[in-house]
């Protein structure tokens, strides 16, 4: 495994963790205050950032994923697709 791929995989993991908090915060705030701009931000971060990064982390070989992690990644993708619709 090259150093470049390791850096990309580690960066994807960090962005995934950071975007999850931002995404949930936007969804929570937008839902409670009925703010359409926050809900639109929630949708954009889900579609553009969260789903592709989750798919990348599920199939990459940089980390030794446990079987439970594969289940959680699949559940995150399925629930995110239901949230967007």
Distance CA 35, CA 70 (A): 34
State the pTM of this model.
Answer: 0.76
As to burial, measured by CB atoms within 10 angstroms (0-12 exposed, 13-18 middle, 19+ buried), residue 8 is middle
Per-residue pLDDT reduced to its tens digit, 17-66: 999 899 889 989 998 999 999 989 998 998 899 889 888 888 887 677 78
Count the Cβ atoms, other than its own, within 10 Å of residue 75: 11
Whether residue 84 is predicted with pLDDT greater than 80 in this model: the reply is no
Distance CA 72, CA 66 (A): 10
């Amino acid at each position: 495994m090259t150093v470049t791929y390791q850096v990309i995989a580690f960066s994807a993991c960090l962005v995934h963790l950071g975007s999850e908090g931002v995404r949930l915060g936007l969804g929570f705030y937008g839902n409670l205050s009925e703010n359409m701009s926050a809900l639109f931000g929630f949708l954009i971060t889900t579609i553009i950032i969260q789903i592709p990064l989750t798919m990348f982390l599920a199939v990459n070989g940089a980390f030794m994923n446990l079987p439970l992690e594969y289940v959680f990644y699949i559940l995150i993708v399925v629930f995110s697709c239901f949230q967007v619709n």
